[in-house]
């Protein structure tokens, strides 16, 4: 009798240990779980129907996933520093909208020290023309961006030596810019992609609010005086 009881106890613990080797969930739960077998490592799905909880988790993960940058951007000139680097996101039905966050470097030149800039940029690409050989032309890109220079030399409020609203549009801390340009993209074939999906070269012609104001107030200011040329490269990762 004692040997029979002992055998049942051993059998019970053996089955319990085997059950613990697999991460399990409720039969009504549709979340995938992993078999901890050292040789198999197979994903098992307990039910093909998802629950409200699963759908909520999926939506939240999808929303957080949209915060992952999809682009690396480098730009030369453009009223945002000598050279700027940053990240970007593309979105929209046809990926026609882009948002870039760039940090730039401004050499000392004739000032006391070099400076760092930050730019928040919004791009709009109305259409794209696909060509042979994996090339794509974007004949028009346009948008605006806001740029600031870090440093005490620039102010967002008029100093006390000026009357209120004496220079309402000449605050030096933030500049508003508008631009138009064109792009040429080389799409990397799917079987050759490792880190990048495509490489884009672009140029932009831009001007800032201060220059545009000067053109309206002074007839001697020409169009060439207020426009600037910048070039850049975009690396599409996702």
The CATH number given to whatever domain includes residue 141 is 2.40.160
| Domain co-membership, 82 together with 52 | no
Q: Are 57 and 41 contained in the same domain?
A: yes
Residue 112's pLDDT band, with cuts at 50, 70 and 90, is confident
Q: What is the pLDDT of residues 195-220, one digit of tens each?
A: 999 999 999 999 999 899 889 988 89
Could you tell me the pLDDT band of residue 59, with boundaries at 50, 70 and 90? confident
In this predicted model, which residue has the larger pLDDT, 127 or 110? 127
Q: Is 76 exposed, middle or buried (0-12, 13-18, 19+ CB in 10 A)?
A: middle
Residues 22 and 130 in one domain: no
Domain boundary (64, 80, 96) is at: 64
- Count structural domains, the chain: 2
* Token pair in block for residue 201: 């070269």
Q: Pick from 64, 90, 113: which residue ends a domain?
A: 64
Tell me, yes or no, whether 182 and 117 share the same domain.
yes
Question: Do 14 and 113 belong to one domain?
Answer: no
* 112/171 same-domain check: yes
pLDDT above 80 for 168: no
Same-domain check for residues 18 and 121: no
- Structural domain that includes position 29: 2-64
The domain boundary, picked from 10, 39, 64, lies at 64
CA distance readout (Å), 66 to 55, 70, 90, 102, 145: 17, 9, 10, 19, 22
Q: Are residues 72 and 186 in the same domain?
A: yes
- Are residues 104 and 201 part of one domain? yes
Q: Say whether pLDDT at 171 is over 80.
A: no
Measured torsion, CA atoms of residues 157, 162, 163, 166, in degrees rounded to the nearest 10: -70
Q: Do 105 and 19 share a structural domain?
A: no
Q: Do residue 181 and residue 197 come from a single domain?
A: yes
């Amino acid at each position: 009798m004692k040997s029979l009881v002992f055998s049942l106890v051993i059998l019970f613990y053996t089955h319990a240990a085997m059950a613990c080797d697999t991460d399990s969930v409720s039969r009504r739960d549709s979340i995938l779980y992993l078999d901890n077998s050292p040789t198999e490592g197979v994903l098992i799905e307990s039910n093909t129907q998802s629950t409200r909880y699963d759908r909520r988790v999926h939506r939240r993960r999808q929303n957080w996933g949209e915060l992952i940058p999809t682009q690396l951007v480098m730009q030369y000139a453009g009223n945002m520093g000598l050279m700027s680097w940053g990240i970007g996101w593309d979105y929209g039905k046809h990926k026609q909208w882009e948002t870039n966050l760039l940090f730039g470097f401004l050499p000392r030149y004739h000032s006391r020290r070099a400076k760092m800039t930050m730019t928040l940029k919004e791009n709009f690409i109305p259409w794209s023309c696909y060509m042979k050989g994996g090339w794509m032309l974007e004949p028009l890109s346009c948008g605006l961006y806001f740029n600031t220079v870090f440093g005490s030399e620039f102010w967002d409020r008029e100093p006390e030596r000026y009357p209120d609203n004496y220079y309402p549009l000449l605050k030096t801390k933030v500049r508003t810019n508008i631009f138009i340009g064109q792009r040429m993209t080389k799409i990397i074939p799917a079987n050759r992609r490792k880190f990048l999906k495509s490489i884009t070269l672009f140029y932009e012609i831009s001007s800032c609010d201060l220059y545009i104001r000067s053109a309206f107030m002074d007839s001697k200011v020409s169009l060439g005086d207020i426009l600037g040329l910048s070039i850049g490269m975009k690396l599409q990762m996702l």
